[in-house]
A and B are shown apart, each in its own frame.
Chain A
């Protein structure tokens, strides 16, 4: 069964460093998303991406964040200068013709 894959599963980075979280969405999907979940809290929307551009972003998604689809398969989230409060589980998701989104296993980002 097709699935969304994310790498790495865990990333530890120093405050102020740049990180890139990678995702391979399901191959025939057209809509891509990033969400995050701070430990023990709810899942929060960050950004949606369609037709090679951002279709919506939340207020969390400030200038430190960017997304890119560099080729036909990968979808990346870059955090330019990480802060302690960026520590969270980051989920990539994709959706196709149906309204449901399919999520990856997540990348646990720890900023020290």
Chain B
């Protein structure tokens, strides 16, 4: 079965420093991978996706993610964190065998950026 793991419940980083939010996946076949962000009392906002091609994908708000097939990882990164980046981040994989577009989410990582 397809699955996604986010090993850290919380990541703390100082403003201006680089940030990484980790995600590993387990799929059969080639993965479709996504990152979403959830601000307090808000919905899920799409940040970026990996389908095929370049392993480094760029998304909204200066975020990027690196697909690493050998390590089955899709870590979210940003070179310089902002306090406004503080939110809950979800990694997700599309359940390809079901072919219905269903997403399987990780448990989420809270990013706290301190001034």
Contact = CB atoms under 8 A, between A and B. Distances in A.
User: Real complex partners, A and B?
Assistant: yes
Interface residues of A, number: 26
A11 interface: no
Interface string B84-102: 0000001010100010111
A3 to B, nearest CB: 9
A104 interface: yes
Interface of A: 4, 6, 31, 33, 35, 41-45, 48, 50, 55-56, 91, 93, 95, 98-106
Chain B: interface size category = 20 to 34
Contacts of A106: 42-43
Given A45-B103, A56-B100, 20 more contacts: A6-B43, A33-B101, A33-B103, A42-B90, A44-B105, A45-B104, A48-B100, A48-B101, A91-B43, A93-B44, A99-B51, A100-B34, A100-B49, A103-B36, A103-B43, A103-B44, A103-B45, A104-B43, A105-B42, A106-B42
